[in-house]
Amino acid sequence: MKYKLFILLLSMVFPLFAQEQEKISDLEKERQNILAEIEETTQLLDVNKSTISNALNRLNLLNSSIESREKMISFLNREITSIDNGITDREMQIKVLEMSLQEKKDNYASALRKMYIHRNRLNNNLLFILSAENFTQSLHRVMYLKEYFKWQKRQAAEIVERQVKVNAEKRTLLNNKEIKQTLLEGREIEEQRLNEEKLSKKEEIQLLEKNKKKLLSELEKKKRQAEALNKRIEKIIAEETSMSTASSKNEHQEERQAEIKGGYAMTATEKALSSSFVDNKGSLPLPLSGNYKIVNYFGVHQYKELSKVSVNCNGIEIETTPDNEARAVFDGVVSRVFVLPGYHNSIIVRHGNYLTLYSYIDQVYVKQGSKVKTGQTLGKIYTDRENGNSTLLHFELWKERTKLDPLPWLDR
């Protein structure tokens, strides 16, 4: 009965314990990923000093860090719960093993007592064999003695093995309790940092509210600059579309065909490039490498912390560290390089009837007509030393004359 109970407990405990260990491992990986995000954001906050001009970006960085920190605490709580469950399962496993060990010891002790009682007969193995009534019985006694002594050795070995396993499980249990204590201490540190970040966020908001007139004026200025950039892009697209249409009508030029009426007329090579660009949606590399954080997303966004403050972004804006470089997200041809107030140098790369725009470029490494490959550096991103060391890349994606949200196209 005890043995059946032992088998039943083992069948319940070991699968649960294995599942809990796998869950803890997954949570640990997720926690490390979040920690990397927090460290990146913290580095960007340390580099970028607070000014009115970049205050909204800093607010976005703080919101991102707070969100990651809260997620980190949530994962720590789940990991602690999983460790607790693992400790409970481990304690049950030790009890089961100790129960089995005790049963082994009891059986072995019982066998030793019986052996002691019959010691005279067993000590004289030859006499025990020869005292059989017939030859067949003698053979049976020989086999019995061989099996008995084998069993005796096996039981002793199994007791030692089970004891080693119990001791190992107890050491693991102690280690799990130490891990739990480390996680509890880590959670306390994260909660303290979260409170500090919330305080910093409050101070940033107070600064913005205090200088709201100046902030709104700055936003209005950026809005005009964004409109000017949008008009410039639309003009360039219209010019190139017109040129491609004219080329398609020239019988001496390579055959061109537009995907849509009034669209950019593409050569066979450009069509293949455009098709390949679409096939890679969701796996395009980021337009920069290294440490980064997206601070402005596509579309109109209202700041819940600040009344009457909203931002409209025609692409995404990525905060990064000084001296970082912009890179092409796909193969293409540099369509245009131009300068515009508020955006410094801008580079447009054509990928068939798709275009990508890279703005806030300080030093340009390519020129109009240059063929570029995926990941190739296009230029050094501008760092505004007078605006808190803000290093920002403005990135847009267009298809024909339509702006697209770049985020679903990128592999993050």
Residue 206: other Cβ atoms inside 10 A: 10
How far apart CA 310 and CA 281 sit, in angstroms, is: 29
Q: 205 and 314: one domain?
A: no
Q: In this predicted model, what pLDDT tens digit does every residue of 120-135 receive, in sequence order? A: 555 555 555 566 677 7
Q: 153 and 15: one domain?
A: yes
Domain boundary among 210, 234, 269: 210
Q: How many CA atoms lie within 13 A of 71 on its CB side?
A: 17
Q: 18 and 116: one domain?
A: yes
Q: 349 and 246: one domain?
A: yes
Residue 267: other Cβ atoms inside 10 A: 17
Q: 191 and 253: one domain?
A: no
CA distances to 240, 242, 250, 352, 404 from 262, rounded to whole Å, are 12, 9, 17, 15, 19
Question: Three-state SS for 287?
Answer: coil
Q: 219 and 199: one domain?
A: no
Domain boundary among 210, 233, 268: 210
Q: In this predicted model, what pLDDT tens digit does every residue of 309-328 receive, in sequence order? A: 888 899 999 999 899 999 99
How far apart CA 230 and CA 175 sit, in angstroms, is: 60
The domain that holds 291 is classified in CATH as 2.70.70.10
How far apart CA 53 and CA 277 sit, in angstroms, is: 36
Q: 330 and 376: one domain?
A: yes
List the pLDDT tens digit at each of the 412 positions of the chain. 444 544 444 454 445 445 555 655 676 777 677 777 767 667 666 665 556 567 778 888 888 888 888 888 888 888 888 878 777 777 777 777 777 767 767 776 776 666 655 555 555 555 555 666 777 777 776 676 676 667 667 766 776 777 777 777 777 777 878 888 888 888 898 899 889 888 888 888 888 888 888 888 888 888 899 999 999 999 999 999 999 988 877 767 788 999 999 999 999 999 999 999 999 999 999 999 888 989 899 999 888 777 778 888 999 999 998 999 999 999 999 999 999 998 999 999 999 999 999 999 999 999 999 999 999 999 999 998 877 778 999 999 999 999 999 999 999 7
- The whole-number pLDDT of residue 313 equals 93
Q: In this predicted model, what pLDDT tens digit does every residue of 203-258 receive, in sequence order? A: 888 888 888 888 888 888 888 999 999 999 999 999 999 999 888 777 677 889 99
pTM over 0.75: no
Q: How many domains does the chain have?
A: 2
Q: 253 and 206: one domain?
A: no
Q: 216 and 204: one domain?
A: no
Domain boundary among 163, 179, 210: 210
Domain range for 218? 212-409
318 CB contacts (<8 Å, ≥6 apart)?
286, 287, 288, 292, 293, 294, 295, 392, 393, 395
- The whole-number pLDDT of residue 52 equals 55
Q: 262 and 324: one domain?
A: yes
CA distances to 104, 117, 127, 151 from 112, rounded to whole Å, are 12, 9, 20, 12
Buried-state track 229-263, b at ≥16 Cβ within 10 A, e below 16: beebbeebbeebbeebeeebeeeeeeebebeeeeb
Question: Three-state SS for 159?
Answer: helix
163 CB contacts (<8 Å, ≥6 apart)?
101
How far apart CA 18 and CA 127 sit, in angstroms, is: 54
Q: 197 and 268: one domain?
A: no
- The whole-number pLDDT of residue 63 equals 86
Q: 349 and 224: one domain?
A: yes
DSSP character for 305?
Answer: T
